[in-house]
A = this chain, B = another copy of it.
Amino acid sequence: MPRAVSDGGENLNGADIGGSRASSHCVDSTGYRVSFPPKKSLLQEFSGSVKALFFAGDDPLRQYKEQPSWSKRVWLSLQNVFPVLEWGRHYTFGKFRGDFVAGLTIASLCIPQDIGYSKLAHLPPEIGLYGSFVPPLIYPLLGTSRDLAMGPMAVVSLMLGSLLQKEIDPKMHPLEYKRLAFTATFFAGVTQAALGFFRLGFIIEYLSHAAIIGFMGGAAIIIALQQLKGFLGIKNFTNNTDIVSVMKSIFKSAHHGWNWQTILIAASFLGFLMVTKYIGKKKKKLFWMSATAPLISVIVSTFFVYITRADKHGVAVVKNIEKGINPPSASLIYFSGPFMLKGFKIGVVVGLIALTEAIAVGRTFAGMKDYKLDGNKEMMALGTMNVVGSLTSCYIATGGFARSAVNCMAGCKTAASNIVMSMVVLLTLLFLTPLFKYTPNAILSSIIISAVLGLIDYKAAYHIWKVDKLDFLACLGAFLGVVFSSVDYGLLIAIAISIAKILLQATRPRTALLGNLPRTTVYRNIEQYPDVTTVPGVVIVQVDSAIYFTNSNYVKERILRLLEEEEERQRQQNCPQIEFLIVELSPVVDIDTSGIHALEELCRALVKCKIQLVLANPGPAVIQKLRSAKFIELIGEDKMCLTVGDAVKRFAPKAVDGV
């Protein structure tokens, strides 16, 4: 039941636009000619670009236009801002049961982790716990993921800590340090929310999957190395995060700085954690063992230290964790002065990393459970969460992979599991903090080491190596940058390599000779299809990229070179003189003024050797620009063909008589 597509082209069919000058020439052998898309006004073009860039090509008001009544439109807007209004209506007891169990599970995991992560950020342990109380309360109201579990995250904590301590020494000026941390958190939240609000979420896409794998792997190693301080009981430890400084620091203290009691505790519990993790991975039903192992380790080791008073033998303990819920911290944020600017910069960088992690993790689980994650809403949710967090003594929280995976496996149904976790943390803050007094730091180190080792995804790295060497280079660059220099430097390397890759493709696109698959009208790359035959008297080339200023000269020279080589080869085979150069434009999705200029030069060079230029299948953007630049008049309208096959049929009919 074919139908003629008429949308947007009512008054503008090809015949009208083609012009009357040569209209009879450009009719194709199949009866069709190369068509011009309906011309768009500047405003239409602009709004089209805006839609593509910010709304993925959708009409942002489509939903509203479909709704006739105002009250429904208001309700729709509210639902858009608070997705909880939508899923909350269908919330059932069955779902709550799932969320409750999952919430308890992630709470048991998060409490020891939070205390450890706050150490990575050089902040007091209670601030880590605060981060698992307020943010998980905010997120479910605004977020669209059902699996993300909010709270501090290892890499983000490390990054925040390492950037903050470049500005302020956390030991010398703990208050100023804390204030800068809240300032950074505030601006991280503002950045995240702004990206969502202005639909600029595509910015985080510039961090490629490969770069993230490398970055996370490097960060995991750095974090694990940092934990050797607690693991070995070293007192004087370097402030740098790079592997060289850390290893120096460790070996320097090997003779007199290590504490065997600490090592004993740390190593035995790390063993326990790794074994339970392994069991949890092998038998999905026993995954609760790996989820609760950290809390069990904390309880057992704390009890052990309390009994043996190992803290008097050099085993460092957590000591005091402040009791009570998050104090307000709005007054602590720097809203002026040089620290505001520094906080802003750190906030933007760390906020983007936190965002990238959460969106990547959220997308993974949304894909697994087949629901839709709205990237821009997620950004606003995470941003709001962190802004509120910064006003209530929390540092940057996000949805980390490990915690969300446990949440998902424990059977969470909606984001409400976050609220359950938050309540458990609330009870801990109110009543249980004194119990952590004798918790050895070593156990926290073990918990963090076992957690971050999961971030080293060597399988993914190997997969990337197999598939795409340049991607692997970005991955490796990020990894080595993080491990040997610093987290921000590694990040920069990864982004630079990723962008360089795109630019490289736009600078040196592949070019190829095409040949005919015998008995068909199909023309394909001679390197890919060894069966193809060349057409005597005609050279057919293909350019594998938009022709832009970065490659216009290269493309011109490559085409001339391919022409020259093919001419030489055909001459040796006593083929007739080359008369036509057909350029297959299917992969040339766009062209700019430099590109057209190069085509004009190509044309002039061809005229001198009495070869005519024929273009096959120019797309809508290309044909419009060629027309604006009057290039079509230059080569003649009959030189624009629908396909390479048609071009050959029209200009070298003898060569394809057999078809």
Give complex CA distance A57, B515 in Å. Answer: 20
In this assembly, does A590 line the interface, its C-beta being within 8 Å of a C-beta of chain B?
yes
Give complex CA distance A56, B556 in Å. Answer: 10
Name the CB-closest residue of B to A553: B205
Give complex CA distance A553, B12 in Å. Answer: 33
Contact (Cβ within 8 A) B505 A9: no
Contact (Cβ within 8 A) B30 A519: yes
Binary interface encoding of chain A residues 561-596 relative to chain B, with 1 for a CB under 8 A from any of its CBs, else 0 = 100000000000111000000000011011011101
Contact (Cβ within 8 A) B605 A370: yes
Known contacts being A57-B511, A210-B592, A550-B502, is A367 close to B601, with CB within 8 Å? yes
Known contacts being A57-B558, A57-B561, A518-B2, is A529 close to B593, with CB within 8 Å? no
Residues in B with CB closer than 8 Å to A463 are 593, 629
Contact (Cβ within 8 A) B593 A56: no
Binary interface encoding of chain A residues 498-527 relative to chain B, with 1 for a CB under 8 A from any of its CBs, else 0 = 110111111111110001111111101111
Residue from A1, A503, A553 with most neighbouring chain B CB atoms (10 Å) = A1
Q: How large is the interface on A (under 10, 10 to 19, 20 to 34, 35 or more residues)?
A: 35 or more
Residues in B with CB closer than 8 Å to A533 are 2-5
In this assembly, does A69 line the interface, its C-beta being within 8 Å of a C-beta of chain B?
no
In this assembly, does A557 line the interface, its C-beta being within 8 Å of a C-beta of chain B?
yes
Selected from B52, B469, B531, the residue in CB contact (under 8 A) with A4 is B531
Known contacts being A58-B561, A525-B620, A619-B525, is A593 close to B468, with CB within 8 Å? yes
Name the CB-closest residue of B to A529: B35
Residues in B with CB closer than 8 Å to A401 are none
Contact (Cβ within 8 A) A56 B557: yes
Residues in B with CB closer than 8 Å to A57 are 511, 558, 561
In this assembly, does A8 line the interface, its C-beta being within 8 Å of a C-beta of chain B?
yes
Binds B, one of A37-45, A78-86, A480-488: A37-45
Known contacts being A53-B508, A549-B498, is A594 close to B6, with CB within 8 Å? no
Name the CB-closest residue of B to A533: B2
Residues in B with CB closer than 8 Å to A13 are 530-531
Contact (Cβ within 8 A) A32 B522: yes
Contact (Cβ within 8 A) B589 A8: no
Contact (Cβ within 8 A) A205 B625: no
Name the CB-closest residue of B to A604: B367
Contact (Cβ within 8 A) B4 A530: yes
Contact (Cβ within 8 A) B210 A549: yes
- Nearest CB on B from A385, distance (A): 22
Contact (Cβ within 8 A) A544 B619: yes
Give complex CA distance A205, B46 in Å. Answer: 27
Known contacts being A2-B516, A550-B502, is A528 close to B619, with CB within 8 Å? yes
In this assembly, does A378 line the interface, its C-beta being within 8 Å of a C-beta of chain B?
no
- Nearest CB on B from A389, distance (A): 27
Give complex CA distance A502, B464 in Å. Answer: 24
In this assembly, does A535 line the interface, its C-beta being within 8 Å of a C-beta of chain B?
yes
- Nearest CB on B from A466, distance (A): 5
In this assembly, does A36 line the interface, its C-beta being within 8 Å of a C-beta of chain B?
yes
- Nearest CB on B from A286, distance (A): 28
- Nearest CB on B from A352, distance (A): 15
In this assembly, does A467 line the interface, its C-beta being within 8 Å of a C-beta of chain B?
yes
Q: What 4 A-B pairs have minimum CB-CB distances, sorted nearest first? A: A2-B533, A208-B549, A9-B530, A544-B589
Residue contacts A-B, CB under 8 angstroms, 14 given? A1-B574, A5-B526, A5-B534, A30-B517, A32-B531, A35-B531, A36-B528, A45-B469, A52-B510, A53-B504, A209-B549, A467-B596, A505-B546, A510-B620
